[in-house]
Amino acid sequence: MLRSTIKASLRRVNGRSFSSGSAPHRKVAVLGAAGGIGQPLSLLMKLNPLVSQLSLYDIAGTPGVAADVSHINTRSEVTGYVGEDQLGKALEGCDVVIIPAGVPRKPGMTRDDLFNINAGIVKGLCTAIAKYCPHALVNMISNPVNSTVPIASEVFKKAGTYDEKRLFGVTTLDVVRAKTFYAGKANANVAEVNVPVVGGHAGITILPLFSQATPTANLPHDVLTALTKRTQDGGTEVVEAKAGKGSATLSMAYAGALFADACLKGLNGVPDVVECSFVQSSITELPFFASKVRLGKNGVEEVLGLGALSDYEKQGLEALLPELKSSIEKGIKFANQS
């Protein structure tokens, strides 16, 4: 019963199934696989039949996680790698690299606190990616994404491997939350709801475009304002609810698995795969911005525009730009300091 329920749930996600058919060989690495996000994410990637080889890496604990996950009777072969001396082997031949490595947010921690720890971790991992799998699609989960994606881009530029089509900040959890919260207020079937979320991936830089949500619902302004605020503060809501015992690890793993699946579908030539992601962009004056992106065989096929915005969303866009600009610049500055 559970197995059929899981499979049915996966089929319902975004109306697209985790289905392989005669899927090609695809190697996926999870960097930080023994962590709070990494473990459930590794499980979800093991369930994805588009993955033929699953590489799990962390600085400790990965052999156990790999042994556990490897017993699941799905397509992919699982290998665990532990310590920096095994990072190269973990990355060689990868098509997609997912990075949830680093520390999670705890009560009272700011994004700056996260930056001070995670920036160096991301820089080291991206240096290895540039060396061992420079053509992989990189899915950045490690926070603060508004800064870690620019860090990655600078590392790749220095190595001469940067391809803006292959670097993604995973903002899918913002979309997942927006869909869930909107469906509740609109009395809609959440499986049929779609809400684009643009901007960045922290606080007010997260801008859900409820005016473009489908199915449409004429929700009053105060409800839309509350929905926007809750989407922006979703991470804090979970951190406080867990009372110092974790952050949004499970929902983030789910969102990360969704986005990785979309990347794999794009690589495999599935048409019209569109997801929101924080990527190099020219739709605003900022060098990076989250919006709808069409995915293809080379990663980003097309960065889609914002579409029509409500007056409230236009105000939100103006308000987020300075903060997002500062976060991007902070990441670039860090990457170029050493």
Please list the active-site residues: 201
Tell me the angle at which helices 221-232 and 234-241 cross, rounded to the nearest 10 degrees: 60
Both structure tokens of 240: 């406080």
DSSP 214: B
Question: What are the binding residues for NAD(+)?
Answer: 32-38, 58, 118, 141-143, 252
What's the DSSP call for residue 199?
E
Judging by beta carbons within 10 Å of its beta carbon (0-12, 13-18, 19+), is residue 240 exposed, middle or buried? exposed
Annotated binding residues for substrate, written as ranges, equal 105, 111, 143, 177
Q: Which of 321, 284, 277 is nearest to 302 (CA)?
A: 277
CA dihedral 275, 278, 281, 283 (to 10 degrees): 70
State the chain's maximal CA–CA distance in angstroms: 56
Count of Cβ atoms closer than 10 Å to residue 234 Cβ = 20
Non-local (6+) Cβ contacts of 177 within 8 A are: 230, 231, 234, 251
Tokens describing residue 264: 């794999």
Contacting residues for 218 by C-beta, under 8 A, at least 6 apart: none
d(CA 327, CA 338): 18
Q: What is the enclosing helix (H) or strand (E) of 44?
A: helix 38-46
Count of CB atoms situated within 10 Å of the CB of 232: 23
Annotated binding site: 32-38, 58, 105, 111, 118, 141-143, 177, 252
